[in-house]
Amino acid sequence: MKWLVLIHVLSAIIGVGPTFFGHVLVRNNQTLEQLRHSMKLGRMLDFFPKIGGSIAVLSGILLVTLNNYGSYTQLWLLGSLILYILIQIVVIGFVAPAQKRVAQWVFDAKNLSKSELPQEQRANLSRANVMLYAASAMGLVLFVFMIIKP
């Protein structure tokens, strides 16, 4: 059972971890060259939440099923699941589309010589940044629920 707990904790850290610094990659006060580099790094980091987050959910369900944690309706357990789902909704539904629009503009060959983002793309970048802060806050609460089990 210790191995399952270890797998769960590590996969949760790997799965949710990139969310905590994603907003650094999409910060507003970057040059276009820095933003291009940040977006390339962000693409590489996308792999971790997909795999780690999936393993965390599956191992969490296994832990609750195989151990005596009580009912699934406990605040910490239900809250953790809801927070995880909300984080996914925020990242997949709001952050990813905004980042995609910015990336399309930033990596478009005709914009490689530009020196600054147009207003529409700055708005997309700001939206992604705010949503990533929201996801980070929910991630912190998620970890608190998992550690303290209030």
User: Helix, strand, coil proportions of the chain in percent (round to 5)?
Assistant: 80, 0, 20
Residues of the chain with pLDDT under 50: none
CA proximity to 19, closest of 88, 85, 75: 88
In this prediction, residue 52 carries a pLDDT of 87
pLDDT digits (tens, 9 = 90+) for 3-27: 998 999 899 888 888 888 888 888 8
**Local structure of residue 68 (DSSP, 8 states):** T
- The mean pLDDT of the chain is 89
CA proximity to 28, closest of 20, 17, 38, 18: 38
Q: How far apart are the first and last CA of the chain?
A: 22
